[in-house]
Structure 1
Amino acid sequence: MATTVDIGLFSAWDYVVFAAVLFISAAIGVYYAFEGRGKTTSQEFLTGGKSMTAVPVAMSLTASFMSAVTILGTPADVYRYGAMYSIFAISYGLVVLICAELFLPVFYRLNLTSTYEYLELRFSKVVRILGTVIFIIEMVLYTGIVIYAPALALNQVSGFNLWGAMISTGLVCTFYCAMGGLKAVIWTDAFQIIIMVAGFIAVIIRGVVVQGGIQTILNDSYYGERLNFWDFDPDPLRRHTFWTIVIGGTFLWTGIYGVNQSQVQRYIACKTRFQAKLSLYLNLLGLWAILACAVISGLILYSVYKDCDPWMSKRVSAPDQLMPYLVLDILRNYPGVPGLFVACAYSGTLSTASSSINALATVTVEDLIKPYTNLSEKKLAWLSKGMSAFYGLLCIAMSVVASFMGSVIQAALSIFAMIGGPLLGLFSLGMFFPFANPLGAVVGLISGFSVTLWIGIGSHIYPPLPERSRPLPLSTEGCDFILEDANWTSTTNWTSTITSPVTILPTVLQPDGSGRPGLADYWYSLSYLYLTVLGTIVTVLIGIIVSLFSGGLKQNINRDCLFGRQDCGLLDFICCLKSDKQDNIEILEWKSHNGQGHDNPAYTADNLNLSQMK
């Protein structure tokens, strides 16, 4: 297979399979739009009426995490750098444990719709608005690139229409988000995770058959140095080591699962705290399964192309195109199956984009509109649908802008890490440090964001030294076709020279030594995974120092905003069940006492008056 030049394009059946996935996703949105006709409240639309159970929410959490950038990028990363990426399995376990036991109890007890409502309850309106605006900017940029990046990779390899893919994906997401709300998003995510796994399994089964068994793949990977799991080098400048992945990866994904609206909104939509915790732990199984599929696919990539690298032989123009190239190579005689993998990649795009659109609509309505208007629930529901449509179209527009921005994928992921760290630090400051005050929160957030932004921009102007992120050896010695140019220089971020069949080692294209500041070799070369760690630590430390020097917390706060009040212990599901029962009793008592329909247990009689908290 390594010598194939003409791998063909999509067949009619491939387009049929892809169209079917989009149609079913849209149909789910239509179903929940009609199913919820009599429930015209914004809470029903944005949170599913807090009636969801663990299994679909767990599938949605996994699907939301798995963007097409991950589906295409992870196997390519394993192909180029080895199976070290599988150590993220440890990070995922720690992330789920931290989120389920530390962050979930606080958010669920407060019964929030928007995560950033917490920032006003704990600090002030200024902190809430600041956090909301940063989140909106982050997610619009990221979602636009999530829509554009896989469309570009698949277009250049398979001939799949670029603009048709981008616009159809964006419109379908916008349609079912605006029609069906959170319930539609969760159930389409559940359907899409099945498609993702099916696409991976099709590639793995065919790859194993083509290579003559899994033992061949493992042997090739071993002798090609791809089974490099245990690298305990503590150097923080190395791109991936055991420590950067376990420590940095844990902080990075805690910033997403712990405080990011698109993820938190799902598990707090569960009808009980037990179901919410269970959804996170079940989601962990899904994360491990997807990670295993992606790593195995990367090893298959190396086994198939170990002697004739498609990138070095100019069969593809970017590493993200390796996976679709493999699919069209080994599955071209199976009509519809390449389309299944494209559906797999676009299911990742649909799930990520729909999660972002729904979260953006939620924070806009709950944080920027509802507190400052007296609109009825029916009008808020229609406004929520309108905001979903608006953000869907905005993200499509952003994907079009991204097509003119050149290399934006790595920049977007870096921005995601840069913003996630300071926001994680801000929420941690509020939950775990009772004396932290609004001034400390604002100064800490700005300080953390400034440091990560400084390093992030510097690392793109002055890329890390070659030895910090050098890929493993690649070869073209097995290619039986004549390269069009025996000596060539890549126009991408890599350069290579191919003379005759020989094993080559790509190096990172660097500026000449002149004008490169001393910080570039150390400060700007910090592993991208440590950006979130640094942002979190700086935000918390500066927030603590400023809070202490400004006299600490001077006003009363709702004690439910702090971690520790009746919070369940590790995996203590019995405690969760008891807490759920108690919360329900408190809700009924509050309604009875006040004669109102507010169902937030944080506002019971034993707490401070609502006007004191806001």
Structure 2
Amino acid sequence: MSTDAETNSSLGDRRTFHVVDYVIFSVTLAVSAGIGLYLAIRDKSEKSTKEYLLAGRKMTVLPVSLSLLSSFVSAITILGTPSEIYVFGTMYVWFGATYLTSLAFAAHLYIPVFYRLGVTSAYEYLEKRFNKLIRTVCSTAYCAQTVLLMAIVLYAPSLALNAVTDLSLWGTVSAVAVVCTLYTMLGGMKAVLWTDTFQVGVMFLGLITILIKGSIDLGGFHKAWDIAAQRGRIYFTDFSGDPTIRHSFWALVVGGTFTSLSIYGTNQSQVQRSLTLPTLKKSKIAIWLNLPLKFLLVNLCVLVGILMFAYYADCDPLTLKVAKARDQVLPLFVMDLLGDVPGIPGLFVAVLFSGALSTLSSGLNSMSAVIIQDIVRPFISKNISESNALILAKVLAAVLGVVCLGLSYVASLLGGVLQAAITLDGVVGGSLLGVFTLGMVFPWANSFGAFAGLLASVTFLLWISVGARVHKPPIRRPPLPRSIAQCNLSASILHNLTSSTLATTTTGVIPPLNVTAAMETSGGSLDALYSISYMYYGLMAVIIVCVVGMIVSLITGPADPSTLDARLMCPFFDVYFPCLPQKIRRSLRCGVNYNEMADGKAKDAVFYTDQWGEKVTAFDEETHL
């Protein structure tokens, strides 16, 4: 237990893997690469980008659902969530409430529009709704966002492995990048989906194993919970409406909903997976299956974070500089508590790399699709043959893998991986979500409004996010207190500590919870602006795009709703409020003519012919027009 000096006497001792650890870790990488190689050999006769990028639209629900889950429950989540609990407490648990609302909007508002249009890239919608410029700008922004996110994802687990073994950090980064690029390039979307299925199984197995074994060694999870509660970590009641509170209930639930929605609703990686299923109904089922699975996986990470704090409650490795960043605390915990059990460290590292590989492969495949569909076909070679497009897709996957490897060095400078990733999603992903929302919900919006809204949103959010990192305004909910009162400190560790640090952290007195009361900021309005919680970035992005977009559209001449292709719009009130009287719902369609869609449903009409010449019926049977 954390109060036993002997338990912590080995804190930070460099441990190495047992043979079985290397076997488990190596098998994880080998199976992932093997799936890609097997599918490449099995499907070598396939010459279509439809097969490579969309798995022929013939996938089944379970692997697609698991792939949707694993793509964004990565090493960022597995490392970042426990460290968030360790440093700031359990308020982050409220983020789980965002899954219900974000998945509901994704499944019934955004994905049906993409599916009915028969697109490969989500940004094809933007050209149909606005113009080619909006499509190109947004697809380019997506690629920039994704390559930076992938760099973070690639660096994070390699940092963890470096913390617990003597392997080279950058050698490990390179090895993981090569394995992931190899199976994504060879096997395409099918390889991504099936490796994701395998990898999410590894993640669940590893987290449950660590949770059970850690609970046993600490004398039961209830003891860990009690220690965390006594030290103020168990805390769910910050209902402050102050937007500068980093993780209040409203920041997590309201702001976080738009961050999650930018991922599940309009992110190309997720849209592309949803389009691999043969019917819209199955796409919706795959999305909804994510709700219990993601809630379970993220909360497993939360519980592991509570165990981690209980173990280090009186011997904080961050204060001692044993862990140089908070994202290293979890791997240190696994090695300190469970490192003597052969197989557990290897399984833990396999969990991290499974999360990283799934996100990396998703990003490589989706960016290949975007570059081919949104850049090559419209601007470079409109009539590119399928065989050449297929070769290009594989080359792009390889090149993008190399680019992500180079940018992983930038990721090493970003601090906490969880906040860095969510900030990136909020700034870019939230702005892109705003453009899609403007197009699907507001029939009067035009291309001038879409461009102005996007520009205003990205400019403003980049300003305050960069300003927050550079200016570093006072934190209104600072990290909770930590202690080193029960440590057996070696001479080397003592050498790294200042006298003031020792004086404030070795007293053993833990301040009460009210130490987290709001701190007064200084420096005027800019400090207040820079202090806005990063969880609100996605919400602010959507509001800015829609408000600026509608104002500019009205000034420059609004679009005529009656002339719009109804497939480009979402009948919001018909979908989410079907019990309203029909006359009211008709008036709430804002002049968009959905009659053709309704007539088509009655005739079981074909709504589109995809780019490969195949007819697809994709009407949403749950929408009653």
Matches of residues 190-201 of structure 1 in structure 2 within 5 Å? Answer: 190-201=197-208
Q: Residue 248 of structure 2 aligns to which amino acid in structure 1?
A: T
Deviation at 1:571, TM superposition (A): 11
**Partner SS for 2:486:** coil
The 3 A distance-change label for structure 1 pair 18 and 595 is closer
Equivalent residue number for residue 333 of structure 1? 340
Equivalent residue number for residue 605 of structure 2? 586
Instruction: Give unmatched runs, 5+ long, in structure 1.
Output: 573-577, 604-614
Q: Structure 2 length as normaliser, TM-score?
A: 0.87
Matches of residues 158-177 of structure 1 in structure 2 within 5 Å? Answer: 158-177=165-184
Equivalent residue number for residue 375 of structure 1? 384
Deviation at 1:478, TM superposition (A): 1.3
CA displacement, residues 316-369 of structure 1 (integer Å, 9 cap, x when unaligned): 111111100111112222212201100100111101111111111010001101
Aligned mate of 1:139, from 146, 160, 170: 146
CA displacement, residues 105-150 of structure 1 (integer Å, 9 cap, x when unaligned): 1111112110100100100000000001111111111211211122
Q: Residue 185 of structure 1 aligns to which amino acid in structure 2?
A: V
Equivalent residue number for residue 470 of structure 1? 478
Aligned mate of 1:436, from 445, 449, 463: 445
The 3 A distance-change label for structure 1 pair 244 and 413 is closer
Matches of residues 27-426 of structure 1 in structure 2 within 5 Å? Answer: 27-372=34-379, 373=381, 374-403=383-412, 405=413, 407=415, 409=417, 410-411=419-420, 413-426=422-435
Deviation at 1:314, TM superposition (A): 2.7
CA displacement, residues 269-290 of structure 1 (integer Å, 9 cap, x when unaligned): 1111111011111111111111
Inter-partner Cα distance in structure 2 for 1:595 and 1:305: 57
Query: Are 1:106 and 1:563, in contact at CA under 8 Å, matched by a contact in 2?
Result: yes
Inter-partner Cα distance in structure 2 for 1:314 and 1:595: 57
Q: Residue 60 of structure 2 aligns to which amino acid in structure 1?
A: T
Deviation at 1:596, TM superposition (A): 8.4
The 3 A distance-change label for structure 1 pair 496 and 53 is farther
CA displacement, residues 157-180 of structure 1 (integer Å, 9 cap, x when unaligned): 433331232111111111111111
Deviation at 1:45, TM superposition (A): 0.5
Inter-partner Cα distance in structure 2 for 1:72 and 1:437: 42
Q: Residue 397 of structure 1 aligns to which amino acid in structure 2?
A: G
Inter-partner Cα distance in structure 2 for 1:343 and 1:571: 46
Inter-partner Cα distance in structure 1 for 2:271 and 2:574: 17
**Partner SS for 1:529:** helix
- Is the aligned partner of 1:599 residue 2:618? no
Inter-partner Cα distance in structure 2 for 1:486 and 1:347: 37
Inter-partner Cα distance in structure 1 for 2:612 and 2:329: 58
Aligned mate of 2:538, from 532, 539, 554: 532
Equivalent residue number for residue 612 of structure 1? none
CA displacement, residues 391-420 of structure 1 (integer Å, 9 cap, x when unaligned): 1122122224545x4648454542332111
Inter-partner Cα distance in structure 1 for 2:37 and 2:489: 51
Aligned mate of 1:546, from 531, 552, 573: 552
The 3 A distance-change label for structure 1 pair 304 and 287 is same
Inter-partner Cα distance in structure 1 for 2:319 and 2:416: 22
**Partner SS for 2:10:** coil
Q: Residue 384 of structure 1 aligns to which amino acid in structure 2?
A: A
Query: Are 1:99 and 1:258, in contact at CA under 8 Å, matched by a contact in 2?
Result: yes
Equivalent residue number for residue 609 of structure 1? none
Query: Are 1:473 and 1:503, in contact at CA under 8 Å, matched by a contact in 2?
Result: no
Inter-partner Cα distance in structure 1 for 2:423 and 2:509: 32
81-90 or 292-301: bigger deviation: 81-90
The 3 A distance-change label for structure 1 pair 122 and 337 is same
Q: Residue 396 of structure 1 aligns to which amino acid in structure 2?
A: L
Aligned mate of 1:521, from 520, 524, 527: 527
Inter-partner Cα distance in structure 1 for 2:308 and 2:536: 28
Q: Structure 1 length as normaliser, TM-score?
A: 0.89
The 3 A distance-change label for structure 1 pair 215 and 565 is closer
CA displacement, residues 471-524 of structure 1 (integer Å, 9 cap, x when unaligned): 11211111133464658568xxx978556443478999xxxx9xx852342100
Query: Are 1:486 and 1:498, in contact at CA under 8 Å, matched by a contact in 2?
Result: no
CA displacement, residues 196-250 of structure 1 (integer Å, 9 cap, x when unaligned): 1111112101111011112212211221222101221111100001110000110
**Partner SS for 1:522:** helix
Inter-partner Cα distance in structure 1 for 2:115 and 2:409: 38
Deviation at 1:49, TM superposition (A): 0.8
Query: Are 1:75 and 1:301, in contact at CA under 8 Å, matched by a contact in 2?
Result: yes
Deviation at 1:434, TM superposition (A): 0.6
Aligned mate of 2:469, from 460, 482, 500: 460
Q: Residue 454 of structure 2 aligns to which amino acid in structure 1?
A: L
Inter-partner Cα distance in structure 1 for 2:135 and 2:538: 21
Instruction: Give unmatched runs, 5+ long, in structure 2.
Output: 1-6, 580-596, 620-625
Inter-partner Cα distance in structure 1 for 2:296 and 2:427: 28
**Partner SS for 2:288:** helix
The 3 A distance-change label for structure 1 pair 455 and 584 is farther
Percent of pairs with identical residues: 38
Q: Residue 458 of structure 1 aligns to which amino acid in structure 2?
A: G
Deviation at 1:188, TM superposition (A): 0.5
Aligned mate of 2:456, from 431, 447, 455: 447
563-572 or 229-238: bigger deviation: 563-572
Query: Are 2:321 and 2:493, in contact at CA under 8 Å, matched by a contact in 1?
Result: no
The 3 A distance-change label for structure 1 pair 130 and 433 is same
Inter-partner Cα distance in structure 1 for 2:193 and 2:10: 41
Q: Residue 135 of structure 2 aligns to which amino acid in structure 1?
A: R
Deviation at 1:554, TM superposition (A): 5.6
Q: Residue 436 of structure 1 aligns to which amino acid in structure 2?
A: A
Equivalent residue number for residue 611 of structure 1? none
The 3 A distance-change label for structure 1 pair 196 and 54 is same
Instruction: Count the aligned residue pairs.
Output: 583
Q: Residue 423 of structure 2 aligns to which amino acid in structure 1?
A: S
Inter-partner Cα distance in structure 2 for 1:337 and 1:584: 58
